[in-house]
Structure 1
Amino acid sequence: MNRAQIKTVADRIANTQIGPANERVKSIVDRMVLDLFAIIEDFDVTQEEFWAAANYLAEVGKSNEIGLLIPGLGIEHFLDLRLDEQEEAAGIEAGSTPRTIEGPLYVAGAPVSEGEARLDDGADKGELLFMHGQVTDIHGKPISGATVEVWHANSFGNYSVFDPSQSAFNLRRTIVTDAEGRYRFRSIMPCGYCVPPNGPTQKLLSKLGRHGNRPAHIHFFVTAPGYRTLTTQINIKGDPYTYDDFAFATREGLIPEVTRHTAPEALLEKGVNHPFAEIAFDFTLPHALEGVPNALIERARASA
């Protein structure tokens, strides 16, 4: 079929409306059908190939891997880039901490701590990690009472709630910043992970000649009244996948230095008897702008 014939078929389908419709949904679906028809024609997609693709999407849904496939295809990163442009066009202050993808493993309801917290339950004997920093506006003014929600994997690349072997909310906390806008936490160094090797996400990635690995990283939501909510994550410097993340989440400005401490006086100061890693990282939030929706995206999220 040529383009005109394809459009004739798509228009006939679109014009079967018999009652009121959600015009935005209808416009998007009509366009999707037209574009899909064009793809089938351009690539001479066979019926066997089409139904294999349809069955693949069903498999993705059944395995609950949609939250892996979307970042793996770069879609979640693309949405972030669009939001960056939209904020700039709306006049949102420049100079804030870069955003990056949320991923699928956030869980609402983590315990709340004032100023500082210990994230791990002591069961994981991985490398000790102390992380600290300050939440400020773009002019450097501390933001007291901001909430820093943090979550990350254990030293095997697994997340609590999704990994039943871990205690509830292990490596997950909400920290309220102190009078100087500071937060602190003790944890263990996370490990990167890969998508399930026999799952549908890796099945497609393999056909694309790609891996499904993520570098070690730590997720954050940073929220304060009167400011734009920040969704971001830092990567652990030196991880072999830091610049080769299958989810395209690596952004400059989100790869802080990691300092390793072995000196007895440093251990004594922290009250530990093992060497530890330290990361300092500050968050900078732009002020909210009237008429511009907040940056926390409404989406389905897990709860414990």
Structure 2
Amino acid sequence: MPANLIKKNVITALAARAAGLDNGDGNPRVKQGVNRLLVDLMVAVDELDISMEEFWNGVAYLTQAGKQNEFGLIVPGVVLEHFLDLRLDEAERRAGLTGGTARTIEGPLYIAGAPLSKGEARLDDGTDDGEVLFMEGQVRDISGKPLGGALVDVWHANTMGNYSHFDPTQAAFNLRRRIETDEDGRYRFRSIMPSGYACPPGSQTEKLLNAMGRHGNRPAHIHFFVTAPGHRKLTTQINIDGDKYLHDDFAFGTREELIPQVEHVVDARETHQAGLNKPFARIRFDFRLTKQVVDAPTTVVNREHAEAA
């Protein structure tokens, strides 16, 4: 069947009517979005000569992805979550907001309500015999002033690449904590070095990536929300240097500013001082938060999260 069978003005009229632009009822913002998406979709179908079978296969794919709750993986996998970060970066730049720690994707595996500690915390429950990791740093504003009482909400995978709550073999809130910084803005935690992971075998996400000739692997990383009164919420993560997929993250989450040095400590005296009898890893990373301003787009995103059991 030849492409471009339908004139653009016919497509425009169809989309406008379907989106309700010819009436004064409904939600104007929803109508605007539906209209634009319908126009773009119908133009794509026409220009690419998408067959009815291909179209309905696409609908079936999306239906199954919804049943398996996979859109939280698909969205970063097709670069949309990173794209949203880039738009927010540019909006902040135009608003004169610079100097803060780089943001990157949240991902789909956050659970609210992790235990709260002051100053420091231990994230792991001791059941995973991975490399011990000590991570510490300061939360400061862009002038360098320490932000005491800031909240560092941290979560990451275990050595198998699995997250508590989603992995029934782990205890509730394993490798998840909220840490309130001390008066000098300092935080510190002990955990285990996380592993990267791949999207679930046989998942809709993997099927899509395979069809595009791509893999579904993420490098090892640690997620953070960092907040403080009067400052903009930071959503970010650090990636573990040396990982095979460090610069080939299927979710496009790697940013150069978010790859801290990992020090692997083997000195017996230092391991003893740390209360250990084996080598461990150490990371230092400081967070810088920008001030909250009236005219800048918000960094607080109200999105659906899984709930703790």
TM-score where L is the length of structure 2? 0.95
Separation in structure 2 between the aligned mates of residue 57 and residue 15 of structure 1, nearest angstrom: 24
Separation in structure 1 between the aligned mates of residue 49 and residue 234 of structure 2, nearest angstrom: 44
Q: Which residue of 2 aligns with 1:40?
A: 45
Q: Secondary structure at the match of 1:190?
A: coil
Residue 242, structure 1, aligned to residue 249, structure 2: no
Separation in structure 2 between the aligned mates of residue 29 and residue 185 of structure 1, nearest angstrom: 46
Q: How does 1:84-95 map to 2 (within 5 A)?
A: 84-92=89-97, 94-95=98-99
CA contact (8 A) 1:132 1:281 kept: yes
Give 1:125 deviation, angstroms.
0.3
Give 1:8 deviation, angstroms.
3.5
Q: Which residue of 1 aligns with 2:3?
A: none
Q: Secondary structure at the match of 1:108?
A: coil
Separation in structure 1 between the aligned mates of residue 201 and residue 113 of structure 2, nearest angstrom: 30
Q: Which residue of 2 aligns with 1:106?
A: 110
Q: How does 1:137-216 map to 2 (within 5 A)?
A: 137-216=141-220
Separation in structure 1 between the aligned mates of residue 31 and residue 24 of structure 2, nearest angstrom: 12
Which of 11, 25, 29 aligns to 1:24? It is 29
Which of 206, 215, 232 aligns to 1:228? It is 232
Which of 278, 283, 297 aligns to 2:301? It is 297
Provide closer, same or farther for how the CA distance between residues 165 and 81 of structure 1 changes in structure 2, counting only shifts above 3 A: same
Work out the percentage of aligned pairs sharing the same amino acid.
58
Superposed CA deviations along residues 40-62 of structure 1, whole A, max 9, x for unmatched, are 10011111100000010001100
CA contact (8 A) 1:109 1:303 kept: no
Q: Secondary structure at the match of 2:127?
A: coil
Q: Which residue of 2 aligns with 1:2?
A: 7
Give 1:18 deviation, angstroms.
5.4
Which of 67, 73, 76 aligns to 2:81? It is 76
CA contact (8 A) 2:219 2:249 kept: yes
CA contact (8 A) 2:119 2:180 kept: yes
Give 1:19 deviation, angstroms.
5.5
Separation in structure 2 between the aligned mates of residue 45 and residue 293 of structure 1, nearest angstrom: 37
CA contact (8 A) 1:234 1:256 kept: yes
Q: Which runs of 5+ in 2 are unaligned?
A: 1-5
| Count of aligned pairs between the two proteins | 303
Separation in structure 2 between the aligned mates of residue 34 and residue 293 of structure 1, nearest angstrom: 27
Give 1:103 deviation, angstroms.
0.3
Q: Which residue of 1 aligns with 2:278?
A: 274
Separation in structure 2 between the aligned mates of residue 124 and residue 255 of structure 1, nearest angstrom: 24
Give 1:13 deviation, angstroms.
3.1
* The 10-residue stretch of structure 1 (12-21 or 100-109) with the greater mean CA deviation from structure 2: 12-21
CA contact (8 A) 1:116 1:183 kept: yes
Provide closer, same or farther for how the CA distance between residues 29 and 149 of structure 1 changes in structure 2, counting only shifts above 3 A: same
Separation in structure 1 between the aligned mates of residue 48 and residue 297 of structure 2, nearest angstrom: 40
TM-score where L is the length of structure 1? 0.97
Q: Which runs of 5+ in 1 are unaligned?
A: none
Aligned residue identity for 1:217: H
Aligned residue identity for 1:90: A
Give 1:294 deviation, angstroms.
3.5
Aligned residue identity for 1:105: L
Provide closer, same or farther for how the CA distance between residues 134 and 16 of structure 1 changes in structure 2, counting only shifts above 3 A: closer
